[in-house]
Structure 1
């Protein structure tokens, strides 16, 4: 769910559509805009792609002074229909909203008693009706907006326009990203992401939780609990060219190919004289840390599982990993001698952010591994290591995963070095392996073409098992997730040694097994597990440097002296396999159904 708005801009309907287009990669199922000009509001809504909305708007002209709001929605409350699409309206006001209003039912029940009629099934609509009720009672739009925001519980980024205040945009932010910018000519912009504002403004303000206010006549009023706040503008640094496809068929394909470059940038300045340099951790006293707990969701969770193997094997420090949505409600036992790490590509993942807040409240030291500076998670954590992956437009994460694992590997070595739990020779060996990864991640056109041709044999069947052992088990989980996200085929990642404890019952010729068989880690054990599946007639695709005579298909990897070299090459292969299967199935690779890039709700 993404939103944006503009105050005083020529052709603002065109701007709104263009801005929403910049946010399209985050995923949505409906969209809408509203423009307030000369005291009248005109609104358009459509389900499906933005092209459907554009057709409705094509004969609408809105040059001159005006205010406008636009939104792309993922269904949370109510199905993806036009009635449930944003903006939502009352008698004289329109609203767009990201997040979830947790007490909407209580508010709605009160409004229904007052005779308010609702047009949608959404939680958002209650806010606009509550605002209008407060306007009638208080006879003041600004006080009414303050009272409305004070009544809301939950996560929200809200933009509201009203015929009662025709030159104003009201805004509020809590637990969901919202930023504002002001152009050199005085135009005021709001957005849930940097992307639509690149090229329009030089600086932006990343709003903090609890902040709200209004923009009027080129002036911005920012408040928190009735107290005026300083507008802390920060430079907007992204180059729009980095968000273009550069000739690739899909953003996901481009981002797979970019991994070599971005991993190099992740390592830049962080290795010097056979030592790990993480200036971001200068305030961390590792002498008082005897364990690590990592919390994440989705792809970031798989990166966390990979890190768990590294922390215990290399740094000799206890580590456990939690799924953020489960951690929040399990009444966890938290110890101030445990370093609490959260991982998020966007820095706005709602469950992960809430887990981070819990850890902070318990007095734990907190560290964020994140790709987006100034995001909510970055601002909340005590310390942050940025992954430097750059803009990632494909919903199915690729280069974010690669840079997360690299960053966690760096962190492992840093901890081992500073706690003196790793000898100098091991550290040098690990650093040498780290520095080879950018070269390993250069995509071979020959390998890509082989995967493209091979993919045509994997478009049916009743499912996929991606199997691996040790650190290749999290990689199997990630490979299965990539495939299911964009191909809509059922896929599971499984520890190879566990197949005989139940899942092998599914094995037959229509079960495709993707076996990760590195030479440097448990190869003979893995070989035995794969042979068991072959004996049950499972169709085998083996990824390994060693030919496997029972394989139906085989992708040969290069010889590596370190298991992480094999890890990253196999990661690349599983990403390309998911990409090519999805393309053959005719799916929208960059914007798979039912998914969003930044998950800002529970």
Structure 2
């Protein structure tokens, strides 16, 4: 979600603040702003909308201050507007904030009773006034921030800039990530390492409850009790991974085309490509031989990956799997005493509900593992076993390559688990890993269907609704395909298990309803074919994803058929994701939406 950057330097910082904010655009935002100190006083620039609006304001009103903070905001409390944009400011300080202050209404009422006048609808402004009140009573900045933090409830990261003080910034975190970095005669803070990548690779990750005081030559970190603590300096690799769109129109399309490579990289983490044996990465040591029941949890696209994972683990390793949306996992109060492993899936490793579920599982004494794409993330640091995907930075908000890398990790893990449990023989393991190694090639073949899918998208872009159907491994893909379409094209779409068609959704079928059917010629093909015929009989506009054998079956003559390469069943969730991604992408392009940064969405959801 919101992006934070802060710089303490001896050189002007405004342009560098905005450059760093550009690197955080992938997190999603609807307004942006910076604050610096000019001639000894706070100076602020804010703008609704894209960063270009803020950049234009800076060009008209240059800032020369050598200390400052910046922010990209995704609206939670109060709509997108300049008054609600960060930084929020009083006569004594400016503050930027990521997260949610859960008790802000109570605090706001208290402050208003004291005569405080608010200018915005945000929870963040409450923090600004709370610290200001403490400073007005005579407390120095650090002590005032500490006193205010003790009153706050929720998950947040904060950065403060103080009027008349060009020597220090203060940052603090509780439940939301914040990093600090050391430069040469300057220091930095940010919401992640990518924010700091233009300036330094010497990164320190603040831990839960930490407060940091940054000056030009020093960063002092204090724990929640106010005790000085050392946080290890790590060499960040984010700088070398920062990328642009290259020759692609959008990051999303670039990331779709990166999938053959990054899926192969991920496969190499879980399979010794020399011996054909499955393995665990060095960051994990799970003994699957003792795992009989698993609990899986994730959010959004990660949840659909976990749903595929449940099919994999139950079929190939014969491990019973519970599956929950992370936002419900804690509240369902499921008995967990016979769960041997809790597995969480997150692209960013910072997803608030998934992180809370991980912490709940650990509190219940469970062994935990996490499939994550950011190995320096909070979830990666807190889980017992880290199972990294190697998708690289995913800038487009709608997940593509991270999803298929998650599927590859889950497929390989399920085979590893099956071997450990004696359900898969050595010969079968070799056959499975040989199959998995075919994935990059098959994905590349699927990418060659782009022109055909582009043509179909022109008709899809004229529709208001769509249905996606699938059985078995294809059911989670129906859910994911529908999600992709509605995320970036804003067409209302729903995914269903094909067997549920007659239990309600069939009432929606007419000649205005496109129906995307995912139907590789597998064990459930004939049953899915019957559903296709039911749709055709009611005039539905069918897009059929199948292979050559399925196409030759000529289920209905009216279907728009996309012929996929033939492949073993374990690969269909990965490879059949490609046409669904391309269909959503090209439909969105036809409709003129903001493909990489769709409205109301954020890349990393770091609040509940």
Do they fold alike, i.e. is TM over 0.5? Answer: yes
Q: Could you tell me how far 1:471 is from its partner in structure 2?
A: 1.0
Render the CA deviation track for 1:277-296: whole Å, top value 9, x for unaligned: 10446543434432011010
Tell me the equivalent position of 2:528. 526
Equivalent pair of 1:45/1:53 in contact (CA under 8 Å): yes
Query: In structure 2, how many angstroms separate the alpha carbons of the residues matched to 1:176 and 1:498?
Result: 40
Equivalent pair of 1:141/1:164 in contact (CA under 8 Å): no
Q: Could you tell me how far 1:443 is from its partner in structure 2?
A: 5.0
The change in CA–CA distance for 1:217 and 1:253 in structure 2 (over 3 A counts) is closer
Q: Could you tell me how far 1:132 is from its partner in structure 2?
A: 1.2
Equivalent pair of 1:7/1:66 in contact (CA under 8 Å): yes
Render the CA deviation track for 1:556-589: whole Å, top value 9, x for unaligned: 11222x0133333321111111111111111111
1:22 aligns with 2:23: yes
The equivalent position to 1:554 in structure 2, one of 528, 539, 561, is 561
Counterparts of 1:143-154 in structure 2 under 5 Å?
Answer: 143-154=143-154
The change in CA–CA distance for 1:599 and 1:389 in structure 2 (over 3 A counts) is same
Counterparts of 1:181-192 in structure 2 under 5 Å?
Answer: 181-183=181-183, 185-192=184-191
Counterparts of 1:532-547 in structure 2 under 5 Å?
Answer: 532-545=534-547, 546-547=550-551
Query: In structure 2, how many angstroms separate the alpha carbons of the residues matched to 1:270 and 1:21?
Result: 34
Q: How many residues matched? A: 599
Query: In structure 1, how many angstroms separate the alpha carbons of the residues matched to 2:346 and 2:436?
Result: 22
Q: Could you tell me how far 1:453 is from its partner in structure 2?
A: 1.8
Render the CA deviation track for 1:59-80: whole Å, top value 9, x for unaligned: 33334x6211111111111111
Query: In structure 2, how many angstroms separate the alpha carbons of the residues matched to 1:223 and 1:598?
Result: 27
Tell me the equivalent position of 2:128. 128
Tell me the equivalent position of 2:85. 85
Render the CA deviation track for 1:38-90: whole Å, top value 9, x for unaligned: 42111011111111111211133334x62111111111111111111101011
Equivalent pair of 1:155/1:174 in contact (CA under 8 Å): yes
TM-score, structure 2 length as denominator?
0.96
Query: In structure 1, how many angstroms separate the alpha carbons of the residues matched to 2:148 and 2:424?
Result: 56
Tell me the equivalent position of 2:112. 112
Query: In structure 1, how many angstroms separate the alpha carbons of the residues matched to 2:269 and 2:175?
Result: 33
The change in CA–CA distance for 1:481 and 1:150 in structure 2 (over 3 A counts) is same
Tell me the equivalent position of 1:219. 218
Q: Which has the larger displacement, 268-277 or 91-100? A: 268-277
Tell me the equivalent position of 1:573. 579
Equivalent pair of 1:256/1:398 in contact (CA under 8 Å): yes
Q: Which has the larger displacement, 77-86 or 394-403? A: 77-86
Tell me the equivalent position of 1:356. 358
Tell me the equivalent position of 2:200. 201
Q: Could you tell me how far 1:336 is from its partner in structure 2?
A: 5.4
Over the aligned positions, Cα root-mean-square deviation in angstroms equals 1.6
Tell me the equivalent position of 2:256. 256
Query: In structure 1, how many angstroms separate the alpha carbons of the residues matched to 2:83 and 2:587?
Result: 35
Tell me the equivalent position of 2:593. 587
Query: In structure 1, how many angstroms separate the alpha carbons of the residues matched to 2:415 and 2:57?
Result: 56
Tell me the equivalent position of 2:605. 599
Q: Secondary structure at the match of 2:575?
A: helix
Tell me the equivalent position of 2:466. 464
Q: Secondary structure at the match of 1:218?
A: coil
Query: In structure 2, how many angstroms separate the alpha carbons of the residues matched to 1:362 and 1:446?
Result: 48
Counterparts of 1:424-435 in structure 2 under 5 Å?
Answer: 424-435=426-437
Render the CA deviation track for 1:447-479: whole Å, top value 9, x for unaligned: 111111221111123411111001100011111
Q: Could you tell me how far 1:445 is from its partner in structure 2?
A: 6.2
TM-score, structure 1 length as denominator?
0.97
Counterparts of 1:335-346 in structure 2 under 5 Å?
Answer: 335=337, 337-346=339-348
Counterparts of 1:155-554 in structure 2 under 5 Å?
Answer: 155-163=155-163, 165-183=165-183, 185-224=184-223, 225-240=225-240, 242-272=242-272, 273-280=275-282, 283-335=285-337, 337-442=339-444, 446-545=448-547, 546-547=550-551, 548=554, 549-554=556-561
Equivalent pair of 2:457/2:583 in contact (CA under 8 Å): yes
Q: Could you tell me how far 1:305 is from its partner in structure 2?
A: 0.3
